[in-house]
Amino acid sequence: MEPGNDTQISEFLLLGFSEKPELQPLLFGLFLSMYLITVFGNLLLILAVGSDSHLHTPMYFFLANLSFVDICFTSTTIPKMLWNIQTQSKVITYEGCIMQIFFFVVFGCLDNLLLSVIAYDRCVAICHPLHYLVIMNPRLCGLLVLVSWIISVLNSLLQSSMLLRLSFRTEVEIPHFFCELNQIIQLACSDPFLNDMLMYFLIVLLGGAPLAGILYTYSKIVSTIHGISSALGKYKAFSTCASHLSVVSLFYCTGLGVYLSSAAPQSSYASAVASVMYTVVTPMLNPFIYSLRNTDIKRALKRIIGVPVM
């Protein structure tokens, strides 16, 4: 097939998970449920942190920011998917696709950077408990979040603007439920070499570097915990990190797996399922993972819903 004129491309077709009509109500109900759980769960966590003065600490400040980003991250993809299922349409405009990629990269990168910031916060809390509030002062906390936003927006602007140089055929079908960056680059009919190189470079820089930082901070944490003589002290120290480790493992294993394996032949269905794990499942589980073993958050949530606190 000959490439079409890139000025004629006006829309893409999102194929989603299945074209079978009988499966559409099931997919709609499943993703609507997960989206509502994600939004309300993360909103409750934000309200709990904001309403309880005991939670006005650096750790909960970062968790509230992570919850806000998770809501936005999921909202870049799922509402459009639900709309397409409901209207029995697969269309997303070219401009809409570029915008979706822009916001998806912004909030995906923010998620990644905030997870590394939380790891640093836990490292300071466990390795330098006496100086924790001095090191993690409000100015540094605000600066860490601000820098994360700036890096994420600049990264997304660069990636999105580079997409504009690519040309596409007039009929483009995306074997996915949203416009994922690596999928769009693969579907271009012009040479995507520069886009591929930029994408992989930024993945290594903005994905690999924070992951390396997280691994380093946890090596310091493990070393410090190993030096604690009390078994109860070791348990308390590790329990504050267990939730974060669970989220990090799920996010990085699926997110980096999707992008780093994009050059290898793979099933588009498998790629879409893996994308669901870090775009939908992880943001949905975050508020539960961080609150189930956290008595302070559970106490704040009980106050919000009017349950007597013992």
State the residue for tokens 């994009």.
262
Distance, CA of 58 to chain centre: 20
Which position has the higher pLDDT, 264 or 188?
A: 188
Provide the greatest CA pair distance for the chain: 71
Number of neighbouring beta carbons within 10 Å of residue 175: 17
Residue range 176-186: mean pLDDT, rounded = 89
Could you report the per-residue pLDDT of 209-222, keeping only the tens digit for each? 998 999 999 889 88
Report pLDDT digits (tens) over 133-154.
999 999 999 999 999 999 999 9
Residues of the chain above pLDDT 70, percent: 89
At 12, give phi and psi (nearest 5°): -115, 165
Alpha helices (H) in 164-230, listed in sequence order:
181-187, 193-203, 209-226
Q: What's the pLDDT band for 8 if we cut at 50, 70, 90?
A: low
| Least confident window among 14-23, 74-83, 146-155 | 14-23
Give mean pLDDT, residues 224-251: 76
pLDDT of residue 269: 67
Rounded Cα distance, 292 and 72, in Å: 23
* Rg (alpha carbons) of the chain, rounded to whole number: 21
pLDDT at 143: 97
Name the average pLDDT for the chain.
86
Domains in the chain (CATH in brackets) are 6-304 (1.20.1070.10)
Among 293, 288, 278, which residue's Cα sits nearest to residue 236?
A: 293
Task: Please count the CA atoms within 13 angstroms of the CA of 104 that sit on its side-chain side.
Answer: 24
Backbone angles phi, psi at 116, to 5 degrees: -70, -35
The more confidently predicted of residues 194 and 304 is: 194
* DSSP-assigned beta bridge partners for residue 56: none
Q: Which of 50-64, 180-194, 255-269 has the lowest mean pLDDT?
A: 255-269
pLDDT tens column, 81-96: 999 999 988 899 999 9
Q: How confident is the model at residue 2 (pLDDT cuts 50, 70, 90)?
A: very low
